[in-house]
Amino acid sequence: MVNVAGRSKGCFNCRKRRVKCDETQPTCKRCQKLGIACDGPRTLVFVEGKIIRSRRTQNPSNKTKGVTMTPAWKREDVKKSASVSPPYQSSPQHVGLRFNEYEVYICHLRRYLYPNGPVDLGLQQLRTSDLAISRYPTIGAGANPLFNQAALTFATLLFGAQHHQARILAKGYDMHGVALRQLNQALSIPGCHERDDIINVINIMAMLEMCLPSGPRNWLKHMLGLEQLIALRDPGSLAYASTQTLELYKGVRHMILLASLRNRSPSILARQRWKAVLQTPLSLEPREERELHEVMADCTVLIAASDEVSRTRNTHDPVRLERVEEIQTKARDLLTFLQTWKQQWDSEKGNSCITEDDFEAICAGAPQALWMVYKFQNDSIARIFMLYTTAMIHVLQIVEVTEELQAQSGFPGVETSGTLHLIRAAGISIARSIPDYLQHRRYRGATGFTSPVVQWAVLMAWQVLGRDESAEGKWMVGALQGYSEYAIAKAAWEV
């Protein structure tokens, strides 16, 4: 039923003059005042419509003869339901995008991880079903619930801490307790040292303790435990390992070496069997970088040996003197090896660096030793140079300790000032390399992950330059203010 009067029900004269008609029957008052003939306002006319069936439905084609027709009673129900008044009609619900907060946390965490590293690869394999929103989102979820729980714990805590969100932090610490319980349960299973996911989870826990320490030296406890777990493995098994397992070894090796140096204990990576395996193409890294890691591993053994000798009370004991001389000889051999390594490195095209004046630092009042900076072809070469310089500092420090031990024993002609000068020069070299390294990363748009090699190199330079008591140390602190590589390394070494 429809209304047949258009949009207006007024009389003809009012519609023509485009004025509002009062619609008085039989003639409107406006026309009466003007004294003109009025046909009166329009009335409602209702027309009963009848739906005429299409001829196609009356004469169905041969193709549709075999199709089952809808019964009349069903068509009638449909018509009745369609004629219901609008307030009672059902409409499709609004469909919106499902939001999962843990996806945001994971994306934020991946900015600070080594691209395609062990942890990053594990995060890439997470499915949406592994991120079900609940108090403990990954208990029993996914193909690897142990890794999922640890990774999401790290992501949640890091996001909450950096964005100062107390609610997210509280949730992350609840998840952290669950992750630790799951890890302890997994470690109680015989043969757990063969599982790569457990190695990766311990690595995540150590990284979390570096960024957000829950207690003194907790990151060190995780890494020393990880080293003992890896020591149970057969190095020869790496010959049959997958590429992902080899990448896992490559990722944790930095952490193991740095933990051993911090704890001043010999590393398993200094053992000949581990060196032999990592000297093969399985190492997945350049020969030059592998050789520097071997030097760092040897330093852990010599540091532990020098500490043991220094605890001997009798400074004139012949056995002690012989041991000191043996340690010093090995340290000087490492020093000679590093010098040869540097010559070969510089001889290759693209590896050498050039020295330029840093006018920005000069105008800002930097110490004179930092008026120059080193320029490299890319940030990867700068990182290798800082790894070499860090290894050089460790070796020189061992030589310095042995010279002091010899001086305590009354050795004539022992002088450590030359060694101290070389250590300071190495620290200056690292400080001069940092600006160009950061500049290369900014040009590439890399604002997140920073290599642990650079983190420890920054800290070593800051320490040997006198920390905050020296002008160079204060300048480094100001230049690196806000960079994670300095803050994380400083917190981990508790300086």
Distance separating alpha carbons of residues 91 and 89, to the nearest angstrom: 7
Q: What is the largest CA-CA distance in the chain?
A: 140
Distance separating alpha carbons of residues 299 and 334, to the nearest angstrom: 9
Residue with tokens 């001389």: 325
Q: Locate 372 and state its tokens.
A: 């120059």
Distance separating alpha carbons of residues 39 and 33, to the nearest angstrom: 15
Per-residue pLDDT of the chain (495 residues; tens, 9 = 90+): 444 445 677 888 888 887 888 888 878 888 888 878 888 877 766 666 666 666 665 555 554 444 445 455 444 444 444 444 444 444 444 444 456 788 899 988 888 887 777 888 888 888 777 776 444 444 445 567 889 899 999 999 999 988 999 999 999 999 999 999 999 999 999 988 888 889 999 989 988 888 888 777 788 888 889 999 988 888 877 777 777 787 788 778 888 898 899 899 999 999 988 887 766 655 567 888 889 999 999 999 999 999 999 888 787 788 888 999 999 999 999 999 999 999 999 998 888 888 998 888 888 888 988 999 999 998 889 999 999 999 999 999 999 999 888 887 776 656 656 889 999 999 999 999 988 888 888 787 665 556 778 888 888 898 899 888 888 888 887 777 655 555 555 555 554
Residues whose CB is less than 8 angstroms from the CB of residue 202 and which lie 6 or more positions away in sequence, other chains included: 183, 222, 223, 225, 226, 229
Residues whose CB is less than 8 angstroms from the CB of residue 63 and which lie 6 or more positions away in sequence, other chains included: none
Can you list the domains of the chain with their CATH numbers?
1-50 (4.10.240), 101-285 (no CATH), 289-495 (no CATH)
